Amino acid sequence: MNFIKRAGLSLWSRRGRTLITLCTFLAVSVMVLAGALIDDATTRARTDALRSVGAEVNLEVDLGSVGAGGGLTAPRIDAAVVDRMATSPLVRKYTYSMFDLARIKGDIELVTEGAGVLPDQEGKPGTIVTGILDSALLADFRSGRFTLLSGAHLGAADKDKNLLLIEERLARKNGLKTGDKVTLGANEGTATAEFTVSGVYRDPRPDSEPDPEFFFNSANMLYASVGAFSRLNSTGDDSQQVGNATFLLQDAGDLGQFKKDARRIAGSALDGFALGANDKAIRQMTGPLDSIESTATVAMWLICVAGAAVLVLLVNLAVKQRRKEYGVLLAMGEKKGKLIAQQALEIVAVAALAIGLSALFTQSLTQRVSQSLLAGEAAEAQRKMDSWQAPPPGSTGVSEGIDPADKPVENADPIDTIAVRLDPAALGTVGAVGLGLGLLATAVPAASVLRLSPRAILTKGK
């Protein structure tokens, strides 16, 4: 009788042990398959989150290096350097900006209700003006927080045109609309320039809530074409200096490569600046995914280790129980290698059955369990986000124990749903683990089989 037929008869005649082995393999298979499915589902959800947020790299002042240098003036970078960085084929769109104080000339009055205005100079209050290359790429506009009510955004083609975006409260107070003229005066000196209102936008922050960066009434914030505004406050140098930039990349996977390319192109011009990805929004969205993924991984490894130990004990016990059977077979001339092959075949057959059974119901089971876990994690993350409160106006938050850096990112809600899909790759993972455990369970007792002596077994029972 060949060892394949013997393996089948052995499994059938020892149905109790076979059932225990099957249950052990089934538990391992279910956990490994569930872990693989959760890993695949969270990876796809994380990729979708990256695409929804957008692959974004921000060039901003490195506060750590500025503070370490003892300087009080924020560094600037030449716009031409930023333009060269944006020539990378990895970049889809980009913008840069700079800000300065400007004086409103003529009969236009700033909104003075709520938060205060900036100090007067020569009888005219000042306001913050941000020179921007492409206003549509501002984070507040891209997230939908700001809304363009009329007119058009400032674009790269408008870089050197005297165009302006104004907030609707300032427009309403002064009866301004698209196409009207506004004269701005330089922060220092007597230079003035006439700007045309290109569009009117809405900032939802109330008058009582000051701008978190400049601490003045957000209704008075103006956005101007960066080239024209730079000329207004020019110090005589023809170069255009900007304070930050944003690069939207073709693909989220290009973040690392773009950072390398940007540093190579810009060189020392990046001193005092940091290249940071918009990973805060991504971390906020994918935090619940990381939690359930780590839980599933730990559970999978624990079950695998426990399963391997149980299988080794079962096979080792089987060898001891079948010593007389092996002694007779060896006395009849059967080779020890075939006895080991029979053990391996029995284990692999049970493992294959367990993997097949696990494939029938693990997908639906994993979907329900992982969805329940994810919903709980997402609800807890959302609760923490909703409970965050900004420090009071004029406060850094230190005395209140509030870190402004912990402020949640808007329009980046924690992911609370995933779709589990059973695919050949997941089954391949389970098959590899099952086969590995089966071979491991066979290899440990194989040494006992190799030491068997048919004469000792049949005469002394050893």
Nearest to 197 by CA among 168, 172, 164: 164
Residue 167 in tokens: 């907030």
Please check the confidence at residue 180 and state whether its pLDDT lies above 70: yes
Q: What is the pLDDT of residue 66?
A: 54
Nearest to 160 by CA among 234, 95, 226: 226
How many beta carbons lie within 10 A of that of residue 260, not counting itself? 10
Name every residue whose Cβ is closer than 8 Å to that of residue 50 and which is 6 or more positions away in sequence.
Answer: 252, 282
Torsion angle (degrees, nearest 10) of CA 144, 149, 151, 157: -10
pLDDT band at 152 (very low <50, low <70, confident <90, very high): very high
Percent of the chain with pLDDT over 90: 12
Q: What is the pLDDT of residue 319?
A: 67
Nearest to 199 by CA among 224, 174, 217: 224
Q: What is the pLDDT of residue 361?
A: 82
At residue 77, the 3 state secondary structure works out as strand
Q: Which of 26-35, 72-81, 129-138 has maximum average pLDDT?
A: 129-138
Nearest to 165 by CA among 126, 205, 138, 188: 138
| Average pLDDT, rounded, for the chain | 79
Which has the minimum average pLDDT: 212-216, 282-286, 353-357, 410-414? Answer: 212-216
Side-chain-side CA neighbours of 214 within 13 Å: the count stands at: 20
Q: What backbone phi and psi angles, to 5 degrees, belong to 243?
A: -100, -25
Q: Which residue has the higher pLDDT, 462 or 317?
A: 317
pLDDT band at 323 (very low <50, low <70, confident <90, very high): low
Please check the confidence at residue 385 and state whether its pLDDT lies above 90: no
Q: Which residue has the higher pLDDT, 452 or 157?
A: 157
